[in-house]
Amino acid sequence: MNRFLAFIICLFGIFESALAEPSISSSLSEAVTDIDHPVQLEIKVENARITRPPTVSVNGLSISFAGTSTRTQILNFQASSITVFTYIITPAREGIYEIPPVEVSTGGKTYRSAPIILKVIHGTTSRSAAADKPYFAELVIPKESAYVGEQIPIELRFYFNQRIRFEPYPQGQYPIIEGEDFVTKKYSEPAEKQVELDGRVYRVAIYKTALTGVKPGKLELQSATQGFLITTPFGPRGSQGLPDPFESFGQQAVDVKTNGGSIQIKPLPLADRPADFSGAVGEFTLTATAQPDKVKTGEPVTMNVEIKGLGNFDRMGQPTLTSADGWHIYQPTEATETMDELGLNATKTFSFPLVAERPLTTLPIARFTFFNPDSEKYVVLKSSPISIEVQGDLILKAPVPGPTAAPSTPNQVKTTAVPDVLDIQVKMPLPATFTPLIEQRKFWIAQAIPACALLVLGFGLWWRNARIAGRPLRALKLERRALQKRIKSSDSRSEILQVAVRLLELDLRLQSIRKREKPLSLDECLSGERLPTEIRNELRDLVEARSARIYGHHGTESLTEEERSRIIILLNRWKALMCIPHHFYSPAVWFSPRRNKNGAGETGPAAGRARAL
Amino acid sequence: MNPDMRRYFVLLGILTVAVSQCLGNTSWNTANAAYAEGKFEQAKVDYVQLVDSREYSAELFYNLGNAWFKLGDQGRAILNYQRALILKPSFEEARVNLQTALKLVGNDDPKTIGDSLGAYADYFPVVASASFWTAVFCLIGALRKRAPYATFFGFVSIMAGILFASSLAVCFWIGSGLKDSNRALVIESATDLKYGPAITARPVESLQIGQPIRLISERGDWTFCRANTGNLGWILSRKAERVVP
């Protein structure tokens, strides 16, 4: 045991001797804070035994000692001890404070930390102040000043307690920044991440955009607001990592507002501004290429001028082409390829169609001017000369319409063609209307044509079907008409009797067709009792007389006028019966017994008359 | 009315039509001549007179757009090129000039599907109508007993029915399309869509020249409208003009 203790003591002795050179450093938890919002100052002393905390005092700041921690570490057989003194600094008023160097003395030497700066501002919502809230937001502006036209990337951070679920509300809505005299780019899709602040875990939605001041002066951004639909759990927090199935949630729409901010927007300097400056602010490089490298006069060459860098690509004008004698320059096309989500870092390519008017050996030189906000100077970029072989004869310069014919300046800085439009129309215009077609009368008149055709077609089909269906009826009617004529004209007794019976059968047939019922034979009809007895008897007599005439050869051959009229009267009465409504004298009900008022069968004087036949 | 009086009125009618036609031609030719001489302001005035007399034509709006372009008013140039394209969607010169003007004002917003289809809003009712009648007549052919080619008619009827339903759906979706009387274009720069009808109201978004908006209501100098991003807000009435004059 004693040996072991001796070994440990010996080991400490070795480590002590192996300690490295002492050093001291200080750091702040936040470099910028608000009034009354404390920050933490740590003074770290390495490889020196200091037990008493150094004194730190700054006028305007309340600094109180919070504690000491010591640790020893061995790294690559190099032992080191670290003592950290922690202080809490609470600012009392706004300003920029320098925390002076802290001195420690050990081994006869004095060591000193570097001074650090704490900026205290007023009126902002720092994270610490809002840390107790379930959600808060901050507007992060990286610069305090910028130039007109310069794009300043800004971030809007919305913090939510990790227990809160959130989503933008309404969906697709982006934050609205309050203020004037600036424009912003389209927001990128919000990023989400998790951060820890003062021991609390937050989920942060980060919206990024770029802001551009449009006129000089102080640009005040009052705040940025974004609506969220948040879902908050009720009740105390359960075990971490284990979801509580019985936990209930409340949902509400809230507007989360950030702090404000300001940026000083400086005007672009007028001094030394090149004539061809077109508004590009940032830092760019220029390269030029051309295709093909061998052409004939009059043939097109495409010169691609590539502007690459970081800046306001959406506001920059096209480069100018200088030393362009002998070249006819057309309006370029533009293409922008962005490298970041906001489009600040990008490559913009201008493709100039050029036509050589005479044999040449070099292409025009591209010249691009921009303002560099870092160096605060205008920078002129020029492409290196590009060789080309143009062969052929001199061709006449094509007339350029309107303002495209830009005059060349004495210093040979030739501006490229200003966009122009195609010429006017001179032929007599055709009248037209803004009234939508479906509101125009002609459209509906046009619809009437097929509608009428449809009606005609429908009517035609119906007519055709009706004619086909009525064909048997018509034939029966024709036969009936012919028989009626014969009954009046013929004198042959047997013929008239036959015709009369045939008429009875025809009437029955017609009746069944009209009423769409099963046709009855004459015998069936006469055997029923629904027919008035008198008529029935007369009809039976008629049928029997006809049969007797055909098969028995009884009676006289010629017919008297009295008999003819009696047959005609009988047929008329029969016909009248046929016209009686279906429900009363329908052949279907003739078979059911029908009685007169006294309950007896009908009899009458006509029975005797029919029997005489 | 006696025959002499009737003849007199007919002659008077013919004379009136002839004079008005002649005057119209004169204004058109005068405006074109002024434009050709570079007197764009005068040409613009003449073209506007023709527009005011409701003698609409694609060529008239195209020329008026050119006059505005030459006078440096890209917003109104874009508006009139759009009008020309509404009246004649195949007007290639108007399309080219519209692209030039939009490029000049930095408006590179891609056209929405609704806008692209809206240019052909008058074509869809024609397609719907033709397919409807085809479907109906072929259906009759298909339903007739013992009709020759009944299967073929049935197939054509189904296809025409599908086409009819699709075109009808597009018709309902795009409505009057670009001929919507409440459709307007932003014609001035630095136009903000604001939360309220006041200069001091905070902006919802910045609108570009040539950006379409849908007018909802007016209050004094301000118009409540919906931008094509879906945002609602107020703009100064003079900063936008209806596409349908």
| Whether residue A262 is found in the same domain as residue A143 | yes
Q: Give the residue from A180, A212, A425, A454 with the most B CB atoms within 10 Å of its CB, the best one to mutate.
A: A425
Residue A599 confidence (pLDDT) above 80: no
- B133, B145, B180, B243: best to mutate for the A interface, most A CBs within 10 A: B133
The predicted pLDDT at position A608 comes to 38
Q: Contact, B202 vs B241, CB < 8 A?
A: no
- As a dihedral over the C-alpha atoms of residue A322, residue A327, residue A330, residue A334, rounded to 10 degrees, the angle is -50
Percent of chain A with pLDDT over 70: 80
CATH 2.30.30.40 correct for B180-242: yes
Over residues A70-79, the mean pLDDT reads: 76
CATH code where residue A110 lies: 2.60.40
Which are the contacts of B182, defined by CB distance < 8 A and separation ≥ 6? B214, B215, B216, B242
The Cα of B66 is separated from the nearest Cα of chain A by a number of Å equal to 7
Query: Residues 6 or more apart from A12 whose CB is under 8 A from it?
Result: none
- Domain hosting A148: range is 127-235+247-266
Read off the pLDDT of residues B142-163 as tens digits, 9 standing for 90 and up.
Answer: 887 676 788 888 999 999 999 9
Q: Least CB-CB distance to A436: which of B55, B121, B133? A: B121
| Residues A230 and A178 both lie in one domain | yes
What pLDDT is recorded for position A601? Answer: 38
Which residue out of B79, B87, B99 would a mutagenesis test of the A interface target, given it has the greatest number of A Cβ atoms within 10 Å? B87
Task: For residue range A99-151, list pLDDT tens digits in order.
Answer: 888 888 877 788 888 888 888 876 544 455 555 678 888 888 888 888 888 88
| Region A563-572 average pLDDT | 86
Provide the pLDDT for residue A36: 64
CB neighbourhood size of A334 (10 A)? 15
Judgement on whether residues A517 and A552 belong to the same structural domain of the protein = yes
Question: Beta partners for A64?
Answer: A88
Provide mean pLDDT across the span A73-81: 75
- With CB atoms and an 8 Å threshold, state whether A437 touches B126: yes
Tell me whether B241 touches chain A (CB under 8 Å): no
- Residue A56 within any structural domain of the chain: yes
Same domain for A348 and A397, yes or no, is yes
Tell me: pLDDT of B62 over 60: yes
pLDDT bracket for residue B63 (50, 70, 90): very high
Contact state of A436 with B122 under an 8 Å Cβ cutoff: yes
CA B59 to chain centre: 13
Which pLDDT band, with edges at 50, 70 and 90, does A408 fall under? very low
Residue scoring higher pLDDT (A251 or B219): B219
* Cα dihedral: A476, A480, A482, A483 (round 10): 130
According to DSSP, the β-strands at A165-168 and A217-233 are antiparallel
Q: For residue A7, what pLDDT band results from cuts at 50, 70 and 90?
A: low
**Predicted pLDDT at B169:** 92
Q: Which stretch, A56-60, A125-129, A529-533, B111-115, has highest mean pLDDT? A: A56-60
DSSP letter for each residue of B109-155: PPPPHHHHHHTTTTHHHHHHHHHHHHHHHHHHHHHSTT-TTHHHHHH
Distance from CA of B179 to the nearest CA of A (A): 6
Residue A8 in domain:
no
Model confidence pLDDT, tens digit, residues A355-369: 888 888 889 999 999
**Over the stretch A142-179, which tens digit does the pLDDT of each residue have?**
888 888 888 888 888 898 888 888 888 877 778 888 88
What architecture (CATH level 2) is domain B3-108?
A: Alpha Horseshoe (1.25)
Query: With contact defined as beta carbons under 8 Å apart, do B75 and B191 qualify?
Result: no
Q: Are A52 and A43 in contact (CB under 8 A)?
A: no
3-class state of residue A389 by DSSP: strand
Span between the terminal Cα atoms of chain A, in Å: 162
Residues A155, A254 within the same domain: yes
What is the pLDDT confidence band of residue A405, given thresholds at 50, 70 and 90? very low
Answer whether residue A501 shows pLDDT above 70.
yes
More confident residue, A516 or B18: A516
Burial of residue A112 (CB within 10 Å: 0-12, 13-18, 19+) is exposed
Name the pTM for this structure: 0.42
Q: Looking at residue B17, what is its pLDDT? A: 60
pLDDT attached to residue A260: 86
Q: Answer whether A430 sits within 8 Å of B58, measured CB to CB.
A: yes
* Higher local confidence (pLDDT), A395 or A446: A446
Q: Could you tell me which residue, A30 or B134, shows the higher pLDDT?
A: B134
Q: Phi-psi region for residue A123, left (φ > 0), alpha (ψ -120 to 50) or beta?
A: left
One domain, residues A114 and A141? no
Which pLDDT band, with edges at 50, 70 and 90, does A508 fall under? confident
d(CA A124, CA A140): 11
Q: pLDDT per residue over A180-212, tens digit each?
A: 888 888 888 888 888 877 777 888 888 888 888
Tracing tokens 């908006």 back to the chain, one arrives at B213
Contact A424 B137 (CB under 8 A): no
Look at residues A70, A96, A121 and tell me which one is the last residue of a structural domain. Answer: A121
Minimal C-alpha gap between B57 and chain A (Å): 5
Whose CA is closest to A119, among A57, A36, A30?
A30
Partner-chain contact B122 A437, CB within 8 Å:
yes
Tokens of residue A239, six digits: 């075990």
Of A100, A121, A142, the residue that ends a domain is A121
Two tokens, residue A592: 């059911």
Looking at the structure, tell me whether residues A142 and A221 fall in a common domain: yes
Give pLDDT, residue B2.
Answer: 65
Chain A interface residues (partner B, CB cutoff 8 A): 172, 176, 178-180, 183, 314-315, 402, 419-438, 443, 446-447, 450, 453-454, 457, 461
Residue A592, pLDDT > 50, answer: no
Nearest-Cα distance to chain A for B2, in Å, is 34
d(CA B108, CA A315): 12
- The average pLDDT across A521-549 equals 81
To the nearest whole number, what is the mean pLDDT of chain B? 86
- Whether the predicted pLDDT of B228 surpasses 70: yes
Do A170 and A258 lie in one domain? The reply is: yes
Q: Which two tokens stand for residue A197?
A: 């602040």
Same domain, yes or no: A133 and A114: no
Closest CA to B56 of B48, B66, B68, B44: B48
Choose the closest CB to A425 out of B59, B104, B206.
B59
- Nearest chain A residue to B33, by CA: A426
Is-contact A514 A585, C-beta < 8 A?
no
Going from N- to C-terminal start, the domains of chain B cover 3-108, 123-174, 180-242
Contact criterion met (CB < 8 Å) for B129 and A176: no
Which DSSP symbol is given to A281?
B
**Domain presence at residue A465:** no
Amino acid at A217: G
Q: Is A83 helix (H, G, I), strand (E, B) or coil?
A: strand
Taking alpha carbons only, the member of A373, A368, A370, A372 closest to residue A306 is A368
Number of domains in chain A: 4
Sequential DSSP letters for A15-75 = HHHH----EEEEEES-SEEETT--EEEEEEEESS---SPPP--BTTEEEEEEEEEEEEEEE
